Amino acid sequence: MLPFYNATNDVGGPKAIREEFQKRIQHRHYNVMPLKDVDELLLNQTGITLGSQLELTNPAQLGEALGVDGVIYGYVLNFDDITTGVYNVKKVRAGFKLVDTRTGRVVWSRGLGVKRVIAGSKAGVGVTIYKEAKDDALDYYSTIKGLDEIEGLNDWHIIFAGATEKVEDAAIISLGEKLITKALGVHLWLETDSMMDRVMAGLPSGPGRPVAPDVPMSP
């Protein structure tokens, strides 16, 4: 599980998503190296500490440095909680790919965005539609190497979309939730959890999947 590329302004988001992916993939019959060991080996063998530095190497070199048959690349494009009163949105978007270090072949890839939107009054609805159409475009990320190999980054799953009668009501709801989730250490967890459920649903089981024992047929 390589360090994730962080295209956001949030330092903790990519770390949280990486740790969650690590937890989940272990239940899919993969033998996964602890993140601490990955980071130490990358630093000592290649000098890499950030996901944005991975483009300086290739899967074969990473496989040799880490002693693994496959690596997971992750790209976090959105980890946003925006509250303006008129326009209030929480969104998480990321893409992942599993690459065979021996062949360089992408074995699996998937990306997805998840969002919740609350517009403040009727005026906020128009602003929200405009902002979302503009901000969701992948043009912002065209310089990130490797994204073109990941399917689904243009797909969005909307958990909730609605509007309040007053602008201040939308701001109170959004700001109050932000303060609570940050205090509990679960900021944007609902969006992250929903994204991970959908993204990892298509991840094939690893080579460690147990084989069902032969059951003798009844006479």
Model confidence pLDDT, tens digit, residues 64-84: 999 999 999 999 999 998 888
Q: Establish if 25 belongs to a structural domain.
A: yes
CATH number assigned to the domain comprising residue 165 = 3.40.50.10610
Overall domain count for the chain: 1
**Residue 205 falls inside a structural domain:** no
Position of tokens 């990941």?
Answer: 150
Q: Is residue 93 part of a domain?
A: yes
121 dihedral zone (left: phi>0; alpha: psi -120 to 50; beta): left
Whether residue 207 lies inside any domain: the answer is no
Give me the domain span that covers residue 148. 5-200
Does residue 101 lie within any of the structural domains?
yes
Mean pLDDT over each residue of the chain, to the nearest integer = 85
* pLDDT over threshold 80, residue 183: no
Mean pLDDT along residues 1-30: 94
What is the structure's pLDDT at 219?
42
Residue 95 contacts residue 56 (beta carbons within 8 Å): no
- Write the pLDDT tens digit of every residue in 37-53: 999 999 999 999 999 99
Domain membership flag for residue 13: yes
Other Cβ atoms within 10 Å of 153 Cβ, number: 21
Residue 215 inside a domain? The answer is: no
